[in-house]
Structure 1
Amino acid sequence: MAGSGGLSETAAAAISYITIIPAIIFLVIAPYNRMPLVRFHSFQSIALAVAWFVVWIAITILHVVLHFIPLIGILFVLVDLVVSIGFFVAWLVAIIRASRGEWFKLPVIGDIAQRMARGQGI
């Protein structure tokens, strides 16, 4: 429901996935910070970005540690590709589902986002 020229709840929920910046803004600015769907998708967007960053750091550390093994670079190119495609698909599905007004929970981080949106903490 758009209020006086603002974004609809579903549009704000979908936009929260563009980067973490709109997600943070929607958690701070009224009336979006009072919309349960927007809060949930904003927290899930932030959790998805954090998960991607943590996985990327872990893969990078593992690559550095195992760099001495011959042809390991090829393996890590494939791992990077699979992980990147996986996160991209999760991100895209989340945007589409949010734009439809669905409470689509990604595995693991969806439960965390739901608790955060309800103000229950991690």
Structure 2
Amino acid sequence: MESSSNEVPEKSSTGLDENIAGLLCYLGTFVTGIIFFFLEKKSSFVKFHAMQSIVLYLMLGILRVGVGYVPFVGWILKAVISLIGLVLWILLMIKAYQHERTRLPIVGEIAENLLEKNSRN
């Protein structure tokens, strides 16, 4: 997990401080991520957390459904994925509130690549 921090939170285009908007990107998992992705016009901090939330929680949801079909141990794997999702949910909200751009391995890279492609279009 890679983290970088800015000292003073600025206002996002939503009118909220960037750290509050970043936290809210995770609050409703991918749903609030989608909302903030489309609402935010200027803050790369908020856009990043919104996209990371979307990618992370959609991937975890797909994984959770997929492992549900595994005989015998599927329910254990679903529980583990749910626990990982809960831990990441809390951790990422705390990090965003502390105005840290915490980039998860793989998921963070995918989120940044999607943001880069989106900004070119």
For the criterion TM > 0.5, the same-fold answer is: yes
Aligned residues: 109
What SS does the aligned partner of 2:117 have?
coil
Select 2:85's aligned residue among 81, 84, 87.
87
Q: Whose Rg is larger?
A: 1
**Shift in CA distance, 119/57, structure 1 to aligned 2, threshold 3 Å:** same
Give the corresponding residue for 2:97. 99
C-alpha distance in structure 1 between counterparts of 2:37 and 2:24, whole Å: 12
Deviation at 1:45, TM superposition (A): 0.3
Give the corresponding residue for 2:107. 109
Counterpart contact for 1:90–1:106, Cα < 8 Å: no
Identify unmatched segments of 5+ residues in structure 1: 67-71
Give the corresponding residue for 1:18. 27
TM score, norm. by length of structure 2 = 0.77
Give the CA RMSD over aligned residues: 2.3
Deviation at 1:9, TM superposition (A): 0.6
Deviation at 1:107, TM superposition (A): 1.9
Deviation at 1:39, TM superposition (A): 0.4
What SS does the aligned partner of 2:68 have?
helix
Give the corresponding residue for 1:69. none
The letter for the 2-side match of 1:118 is: E
Select 1:51's aligned residue among 59, 82, 103.
59
Using the aligned pairs only, state the percent identity: 26
C-alpha distance in structure 2 between counterparts of 1:108 and 1:97, whole Å: 18
TM score, norm. by length of structure 1 = 0.76
